[in-house]
Structure 1
Amino acid sequence: MKVFVIDDHPLVCEGIKAILDNEDGMDLAGSASNGQEAEQSFKLEKPDLALVDLRLPGESGIEIIRRLRPLAPDCRYIILTTYADPEDVRQAMEAGVDGYILKEALPEEMTSALRLVGRGRPYFDPSVMQMMLQQPKKGDDNLSELTDRELEVLRALTRGLSNREIAGMLFVTEHTVKKHISSILCKLDLKDRTQAALYAVSNGV
């Protein structure tokens, strides 16, 4: 798995490189201190996963991610930041990021998150999830529109389960699970399963 880091602090990039050097199957594909550098490198490297600082000098990490998506369509994105503000998390969710890690995370937490996201599952720092749980609940009316089976699927999404795992748990086909997820996203007015999982947690599902 090729990992790219976008952060304006050299020590952060060096620290992540040191962590990845000790992990099998992970390599630092490159690093950049701003969006322009990242765009130039992405065209060549086509990384599998990018760790992006939320706030860079004069730039938003979320805006950089939006610019990078067309250059590496299969790349997954994790916000790496010292900030855990609810509004920052909401903006990250709206941008469809795959993960949110705080810079205070232990090395083993980071590598676990990288592997999880690399397998297509979302990862949000536990402290971020706890913060979202403590936010005023919204959308209860929308939740009431979900069927019992859709609620089961939604709870499974909060556990990071794949469609196949959910299908096995509920004794249905993967196609049925996909239909349930599409219905959930439509009823809750959400874009993807990551947003659905965080929405569920923030509303106590």
Structure 2
Amino acid sequence: MRVIIIDDHPLVRKGLELVASLEEDFEICGFAANGLEAMEVLEKHSPDVALVDLRLPGEHGLDIIEKARSINSTCKYIVLTSYATKEEIKQAMALEVDGYILKETLPEELITSVRMIHKGRKYFDPVIVQHALEEKNEDKLSELTTREMEVLKFLSRGLNNKKIAEDLFISEHTVKKHVGQILTKLELQDRTQAALYGVSQALNR
């Protein structure tokens, strides 16, 4: 497996090279510290896998990956970074990167993850997955109207339609309509799922 490392920190590059050198199926064939060097290394070595840091001089790692795919579309591009914002995770998902690994990952976990990705599977650090789910949930909740959010909060507290209607000074029929809209927008099957979803979003407080 031919691997290139795109990272501007010498210690990180050296550490990754050392970890990879202990594996018979890993060959570090090139390094790059910025976008320009990355394109040159990709063209020269045609790697199977590229480990890409997000924060590089003059250019963001995700922009480099997007450009790199026009040079080598078969290479597996893995984000390897110290931390990530929710916006960066969202952009990486949209770009369909092959993997997203945090630098705090243990060496053996890193090697296993890269092998998995090289074989065609996706791998995302559990922390990244959690952030992505939170982002997705926030997007879904933003689709609800103010009244639907109020109804969802009451559902998460275990109130029935009659009690919700009394507290909101609306009819039970209107409550049922709101519940129906909530289920549709949140892609849920029934009010029990809606209640559990509300609890998971801490709406029952």
Flag whether TM exceeds 0.5 (same fold): yes
State the match for 2:14 in structure 1: 14
- Cα 1:141–1:50 shift into 2, 3 Å: farther
- Which one has the largest radius of gyration? 2
1:39 is paired with a residue whose SS is helix
Superposed, which structure 2 residues align to 1:176-187 within 5 Å? none
One-letter code aligned to 2:20:
L
User: 1:81 corresponds to which residue?
Assistant: 81
Aligned mates of 1:142, 1:45 — CA distance in 2: 48
How far 1:76 moved relative to its partner? Answer: 0.7
C-alpha distance in structure 2 between counterparts of 1:117 and 1:143, whole Å: 31
Question: What do residues 34-92 of structure 1 show as CA deviations (whole Å, max 9, x unaligned)?
Answer: 01011111111000000000111221001011111121121010001111321111111
Counterpart CA distance in 2 for 1:76 and 1:25 is: 16
Q: Provide TM-score, normalisation by structure 1.
A: 0.66
Residue in structure 1 matched with residue 129 of structure 2 by the alignment:
129
Larger relative CO (CA 8 A, sep 6+): 1 or 2?
Answer: 1
Secondary structure of the structure 1 residue equivalent to 2:84? coil
Q: What SS does structure 1 have at the residue aligned with 2:104?
A: coil
- CA deviation string 1:134-189 (max 9, x = no partner): 346145857849xxxxxxxxxxxxxxxxxxxxxxxxxxxxxxxxxxxxxxxxxxxx
Q: Distance in 2 between matches of 1:69 and 1:34?
A: 16
Opposite residue 124 of structure 1, the aligned amino acid is F
Note the aligned Cα RMSD (angstroms). Answer: 2.2
Q: Distance in 1 between matches of 2:92 and 2:135?
A: 16
Superposed, which structure 2 residues align to 1:31-180 within 5 Å? 31-135=31-135, 137=137, 138-139=139-140, 141=184, 144=187
Shift of 1:94: 1.1
Distance 1:141 1:86, change over 3 A: farther
SS in 2 for 1:43: helix
The match for 1:168 is none
129-138 vs 54-63, greater mean Cα deviation = 129-138
Unaligned runs of 5+ in 1: 146-205
Indicate the SS of the match to 1:4: strand
CA separation of 1:67 and 1:142: change in aligned 2, threshold 3 A: farther
Aligned length: 147
Flag the 1:132–1:33 CA change in 2: closer, same or farther, 3 A: same
Q: What is the aligned-residue identity percentage?
A: 46
* Between 130-139 and 58-67, the greater mean CA deviation after superposition: 130-139
